[in-house]
Amino acid sequence: VLENTNIMDILHYNFYNNFLAVKAVQCIEENDVITLLLTKEDITNHEIPYSDLIKRLADKDKKMCDAGNTCSIVFDSASGLKKIIITGLGDAEKLTPNDLRKAAGETTRTIMKARGEKTLVFSPVAVSNNDHMYLRALLEGLILGSYEFNECKSEVANKFDGLVQVYSKDIKVNDIIAEANILCESIIWARNLVNRPGNIVQPQNMADEALLMSEKLGLECEILGTDAMREKAMGALLAVGKGSDAEPKLITLKYQGSVNSDWIALVGKGITFDSGGISIKPEAGMGEMKDDMAGAAAVLGAIRAIAEMKLPCNVIAIAACAENMPSGTATRPGDIIKAANGKTIEVVSTDAEGRMVLADAVWYACRQGASKVIDIATLTGAVIIALGNETAAIVSNNDNLCEEIISAGKTAGENYWRLPSLPECKEAIKSDIADLLNSAGRPGGVITGGLFIGEFVDENIPWAHIDIGGTSTAQKTNGYLVKGATGIGVATLVQLVKGK
C-alpha cells in the first residue's frame, strides 16, 4: 500500500525517467537507429540520409510514405547502424503540424521498442520549414508520446534510456527545444498528478506540490484551509469538502512576468476524488473519478510552464481542491448554502460539486484583481454525450476570449467548441426557495453547469468556462496521447498567454 508520505519520493525518483531527452544535432554519423518521418514528396529528396535506398524501397512499396504507415529495416553494417525506422506522413501539402505531432507520438514508441543507444530523428518538413511549427510539433510528439505512468509499479521492466537526437539546421533550434522540453515536462507533470489515485493525491498533496513549485520557480503561493475559507465565507467550497476527512484547500499561485500588464486568472476544479457524495455515483466507473482534479492540474501545469519560460505576462492560477465524500458530516441534497459572493444555492445533487467549488474560486479570482477569468473543469459527463472524447466545450460571456482559446488550442493541438448560452438557459438554474439550483438536470447540462459558475464572476469581466469532462483522460494510446491522463489545457493555456 502506498502511504501518502511516500509521494514526494515517488515524484522525484520517477519524474525525469519517464520521457525522452531530445537534443539537436547537425550530423548523422554514429547512430544505431535512424528514424525518418517522410512525406510522399520526400521520396525524391536527396538531402535525406540513405536517399538512394529510400527511393528504391519506395519504388517497390508504393504505400511506404502513406500517412499512418510505419516500417523498419534491420541492418548488419560495419558503421554500427542497426535499424532504419520509416514513418509515412502522406502528402506534404495536406500535412498540418498537428498531423506531425501525432505521427511523432506514434514513432516515439517504435523508437523505444527498437532500443537504440543513440537514435537520430530526421524529418525534412521540420528541417526546412521556417515557421518552426513543424519542428515544435515534432519535438512535442516525440516527448509526449513516450510518457508512461509507472510510478506506482514496484519495478519498471525495460526502461528505455537511449539518447534521442533530432536533426536540424535551424539556428534557433536550441531555443525551440528548450521551450518544447519545458512545455512537455509541465504537461507530463499534470498527467502524473491526474493519473495518481485518490489515496495518493488529496487536497493537501496538491497544496504540497504547488508550494514546492512556487519555491522552485519563485512564485507567490497562498494556501487557504478550512479556517481561512470560513473567514472568507466560502460556503460553497466548504460544503463540498465537509463530508471528507481530508481538509479542502484553495491554492493560489501568482506569476508576475510583466510590470504593467493585466492579470489573467486560470481557475481549476480540483476534486481529488468524486464519489458523488450523498448523491453517490453508481459503482461502475467510479474509480475514474480520481481524475476529477484535471482542471486544477492544468492550471498548475500551465503556470509552471509560463514561469519557467519567463513569459512577459501576469498570471494567477487557482486550484479549488476538495474530496467529495458521503459521511455523517456531508452536505445533503436539499441543503441550502451561501457562497462567498452572498448568493444562496439549493443543492439538488451533491454530485454537482465542481460548480460549487468553482463558484467560490472564480469569486476569489476576481478579488485578486483578475481582469479575465478562465475556469477549466471535468464538470460534466454530459460533455461526452455532446462532443465526445476529442473536444472540450466552452461556455463564455465573451466572443474574443472564446476565439483566443479556440485558436490557441489549434496551435497547441487541443480542440474546443463553444456552446450557446441563451438567457433562457439561466432560467433553468433558478431556485424557488434560494437564488440558484446547483443542477438543472440533464437538458443542456454542459451549458447550465457553465452558466452556474458564471454567476459568481464579477459583472463585466470576460470569462470562459472549459469543460474537459470528456477529454481529461484518453481511453487508448493514440498519437501523442497515452492511455490515461492527457494533460489537456496546459498547452492551450500556455499558448493563450503567449499570444502568438
Rounded least distance, CB 393 to ligand BES, Å: 12
Site for ligand BES in 353-392 (CB under 6 A): 353-354, 378, 380-382
3-state secondary structure of 463: strand
In the bound complex, what is the minimum distance in angstroms from residue 108's beta carbon to Zn ion? 32
Cβ atoms of 2 and 145 closer than 8 Å: no
- Residue 381 binds: one of ligand BES, Mn ion, Zn ion, none (C-beta under 5 to 8 A by kind): ligand BES
Nearest to Zn ion of 271, 358 (CB atom): 271
Distance separating alpha carbons of residues 391 and 414, to the nearest angstrom: 8
State yes or no: residue 170 binds Zn ion (CB under 5 A): no
Q: What three-state secondary structure class fits 345?
A: strand
Using alpha carbons, select from 96, 94, 79, 64 the residue that is nearest to residue 33: 79
Q: How far is the CB of 292 from ligand BES (least distance, A)?
A: 5
Residues known to be catalytic:
281, 355
DSSP helix, strand, coil percent of the chain (3-state; round to 5): 40, 20, 40
CB of 481 to Mn ion, least distance (A): 24
State the Cα–Cα distance between residues 445 and 465, nearest whole angstrom: 13
Rounded Cα gap, residues 48 and 129, in angstroms = 15
292 touches Zn ion by CB under 5 A: yes
Of these partners, ligand BES, Zn ion, Mn ion, none, which one is at the site of residue 370 (CB under 5 to 8 Å by kind)?
none
- In the complex, minimum distance from the CB of residue 206 to ligand BES, in angstroms, rounded to a whole number: 16
# of chain residues touching Zn ion (CB under 5 A): 4
Minimum CB distance to ligand BES smaller for 212 or for 280? 280
Q: Which range touches ligand BES (CB under 6 A), out of 96-104, 115-123, 349-357, 484-492?
A: 349-357
- Beta-carbon neighbour count of residue 24 at 10 Å? 16
Chain residues 261-280 in contact with Mn ion, contact rule CB under 5 A: 274
Residue 243 is a binding residue for Zn ion (CB under 5 A): no
Closest CA to 99 of 39, 24, 153, 45: 39
Regarding 450 and contact with Zn ion (CB under 5 A), the answer is no
Minimum distance between the CB of residue 311 and ligand BES, rounded to whole angstroms? Answer: 30
What number of CA atoms fall less than 13 Å from residue 96's CA on the CB side?
A: 7
Residue 344 pairs with which residues in a beta bridge? Answer: 338
End-to-end CA, the chain: 46
Instruction: Report the residue number, 99 or 353, with the smaller CB distance to Mn ion.
Output: 353
Question: How many helices and strands in the chain, by DSSP H and E?
Answer: 16, 19
**What is the closest distance, in whole angstroms, from the C-beta atom of residue 278 to Mn ion in the complex?**
11
User: What is the spatial distance between Cα 124 and Cα 48, in angstroms, rounded to a whole number?
Assistant: 7
Our finding on whether 351 is near Mn ion (CB under 5 A) is yes
The three cell numbers of residue 81 are: 547502424
For residue 362, give the nearest of 234, 276, 498, 214 by alpha carbon: 234
274 binds ligand BES (CB under 6 A): yes
Site membership for ligand BES, residue 275 (CB under 6 A): no
Closest by alpha carbon to 288, among 428, 163, 490, 475? 475
Using the structure block, give the residue that is written with the C-alpha cell 492540474. 297
Count of residues touching ligand BES (by CB under 6 A): 15
- Per CB under 5 A, the list member of 274, 291, 323, 467 interacting with Zn ion is 274
| Beta strand pairing call for 249-256 and 220-224 | antiparallel
Among 90, 116, 354, 487, binds Zn ion (CB under 5 A): 354
* Nearest CB to Mn ion, comparing residues 106 and 351: 351
Amino acid at 414: E
Q: Does the protein bind ligand BES through residue 111 (CB under 6 A)?
A: no
Q: Which residues bind ligand BES (CB under 6 A)?
A: 274, 289, 292, 349, 351-354, 378, 380-382, 439, 445, 469
Q: Which residues bind Zn ion (CB under 5 A)?
A: 271, 274, 292, 354
